[in-house]
Amino acid sequence: MRRLSFIFVWFACLCLPIVPVALAAKSLEIYLIDVEGGQSTLIVDPQGESLLIDTGWDDFNGRDASRILAAAKAAGIDHIDDVVITHYHSDHVGGVPQLASRIKIGAFFDHGPNMEDSKETRANYAAYEKVTAQSKRVVVKPGDQIPFQGMRVQVLTAAGNEITAPLPGAGQPNSLCASEPELPADPSENARSVGVLITYGKFRFIDLGDLTNRKELGLVCPNNLIGTVDLYLVTHHGTAHPGSGDSSNARAIVEALHPRVAVMNNGAIKGGNPMAWEIVHDSPGLEDLWQLHYSVAGGKQHNAADTFIANVGVNYDNAPDDAGNYIKASALPDGTFTVTNSRNNYSKTYTK
């Protein structure tokens, strides 16, 4: 009788509908790589597709290519699907030839021809064209999307132009615009930077390259065309030059974006300007400011606590005290994200 009862229960269980157990959401991974005051940011979406924004410098015996490859290994990828080059300055595009010789790259995205009349930038662009002649190259414009399955990559700025219509949910008037001085136009490649907004569910990450003041304000004045973000890569390595055309991080854009967390990709002696640091640090609603390096110019007053700095040694000419530590952000579609300092493995999670 007990055996029959057991058989009945077993048969009944077989007849019940199987309810699948919900799988935990995968994260979007962002590696903010230390290239000594330049830029290189690796993003890997939940589908395993990868986007690299800029490639760092072209010298130091392939140092920056090696650091990008180390981040790719940590992310579990053996190729890079797409590379966005924000502009053609050495600290952003210089590393393309070295990197392309060491890892497979699917396609390059940029703003089009170089328009800056300087010997160094012309040489950078020529080296870049030589590599991309053997690859797929796409010129982007504001409003374009770079196709990915697991994240949305929207182009906000390119070639000195910006989006003209507000993104969904944006478009509110910006009262801070009236207090911004009108600075001279910036004729350099900085003002032509490709800027992108990366979205994964409710999480939003913005990277505007080295975009300078007048072009920054075009995105948020008189109305904020972007809306708010969760993670802000501080523009132009944390640069602010009062009264100059190449100033960045205008208060009107930083506060309009209303970031919850910011990361500054400064070097020890490049970027990390005290004025820019203060504008970002004091932005209403900001929970933390992380840095890739301790800034010599900032001193104790204008640097984050060491816990939030990936490289604390003062580094001149690639001195051996610099380990090239990165900062990593892992984001979930509900807007929760965790930032980790690879130097000390300190992590902090931010929830909506």
CATH number of the domain encompassing residue 179: 3.60.15.10
- Lowest mean pLDDT across 4-13, 117-126, 211-220: 4-13
**Per the omega criterion (within 30 degrees of 0), is the bond before 173 cis?**
no
Are 303 and 269 contacting, i.e. CB atoms less than 8 angstroms apart? no
Predicted confidence band at 352 (pLDDT cuts at 50, 70, 90)? confident
Residue range 10-18: mean pLDDT, rounded: 39
Residue range 103-117: mean pLDDT, rounded: 98
Closest-CA residue to 76 (of 29, 41, 32):
29
Domain around 86: 24-350
Predicted confidence band at 243 (pLDDT cuts at 50, 70, 90)? confident
Rounded Cα gap, residues 163 and 144, in angstroms: 9
- Looking at the domain assignment, is residue 43 inside a domain? yes
Residue range 143-170: mean pLDDT, rounded: 98
Residue range 14-24: mean pLDDT, rounded: 42
Q: What is the pLDDT of residue 242?
A: 82
Predicted confidence band at 316 (pLDDT cuts at 50, 70, 90)? low
DSSP string over 148-182: -SSSEEEEEEETTEE--SPPTT---B-GGGGGS--
The pTM score is 0.92
Q: Which tens digits make up the pLDDT trace of 172-200?
A: 999 999 999 989 999 999 999 999 999 99
Q: What is the pLDDT of residue 79?
A: 98
- Looking at the domain assignment, is residue 11 inside a domain? no
Are 161 and 170 contacting, i.e. CB atoms less than 8 angstroms apart? no
The domain total for the chain is: 1
- Lowest mean pLDDT across 7-21, 135-149, 219-233: 7-21
The SS3 call for residue 331 is strand
The SS3 call for residue 190 is helix
Q: What is the pLDDT of residue 260?
A: 98
- Looking at the domain assignment, is residue 7 inside a domain? no
pLDDT, the chain, mean = 92
The SS3 call for residue 15 is helix
- Looking at the domain assignment, is residue 17 inside a domain? no
- Looking at the domain assignment, is residue 9 inside a domain? no
Q: Which tens digits make up the pLDDT trace of 254-286?
A: 999 999 999 999 999 999 999 999 999 999 999
- Looking at the domain assignment, is residue 2 inside a domain? no
Tokens of 82: 């797409």
